Amino acid sequence: MEKIDGKQVAETLKQRIAERIKNEYEQKGIERPCLACILVGDDPASQTYVASKERTCKQIGIDSVVYRMNANSTFAQIASKIEYLNGDERISGILLQLPLPANLRKYEDELINTINPQKDVDSLTNVNLGKLFSDKNQIAPCTASGIIKLLKEYKIDMHGKKVTVVGRSLLVGKSVAMLLLKENATVQICTSKTVDLAKETREADILVVAIGKPQYITADMVKEGAVVIDVGINRIQKTIIDEKTGDEVQKSVIVGDVDYQNVKDKCSYITPVPGGVGPMTIAELMNNTLILHEQRLEDEFAPTLARR
């Protein structure tokens, strides 16, 4: 078994982006990319993600602005902020941090589609999803494109391989399925409702799991020698022995959708949680921001930076 080190791959990608920004923008006095994030409410996980995005932007030379809005903000207030950013020429990409508070969740799709597709950094508007499904996209949802980058970095052949994706979200499941099809993989999408899910997962050469259920995929559900990509991030309580007192205590730990400890010995490659897919999501967000920035300035500056 070889562990896929998403953190290392992400660091390499971020360093490459930082060099491009320094050489092609800062040294030439050209406006740098700028990422705008709208954070509604006080969800701790969302706050952590946004803070990480801010740090990464600063680290690699992308300007960033964060608009923090109260959980009681109205649809109109959030839509107005998005429209303002659509018209702000310094903004390269706009990210609406999801999930929204419960009282606003029914508006998520409409608010996402208020974002100008040319600034839709997470590629979730109907326009950009349509381009993804018709093979005309320049960018893709960050987690999905990060998974493909990891597979390529580890020289894992996707051509003709049977891939099972467990999870059907637009953000991961459906999007990564489309990207895998472009790599000539044979792809099926399953859910927790799939009849005899274990049979389907056991037949997969590459198994991508994004179902949001902690340690749901067990060793008996995985083919010997398979490649397992675990997208899940779940916080659970685990009983451990306190080294000082010898007492049993409850500790909060992060686990994936795959039972890593029992599955890893059956795999040829596997992503750990944390440290696997997660770091790639933020790195791809930076990459998407740069690509959208280049597209916006292309007519005026005609940058020669390589596309993905």
> Going by C-beta distance under 8 Å and a sequence separation of 6 or more, which residues neighbour residue 195?
none
Handedness of CA 109, 115, 116, 122 (dihedral sign): negative
**46 torsion bin: left (phi>0), alpha (psi -120 to 50), beta (else):** alpha
Q: Say whether 97 is catalytic.
A: yes
C-alpha angle with apex 35: 31 to 39, nearest 5 degrees? 155
Catalytic residue among 97, 205, 223, 264: 97
User: Which candidate, 44, 32, 124, 31, places its Cα nearest to that of 82?
Assistant: 124
Distance of alpha carbon 52 from alpha carbon 93, whole angstroms: 17
Residue indicated by tokens 């600063």: 58
Among 122, 205, 230, 259, the one annotated catalytic: 122
Would you call 205 a catalytic residue per the annotation?
no
Say which of 53, 81, 119, 161 is annotated catalytic.
53
> Is the Cβ–Cβ distance between 282 and 10 less than 8 Å?
yes
- Which distant-in-sequence residues (6+ apart) come within 8 Å of 59 by Cβ? 14, 18
Residues tagged active-site: 53, 97, 122
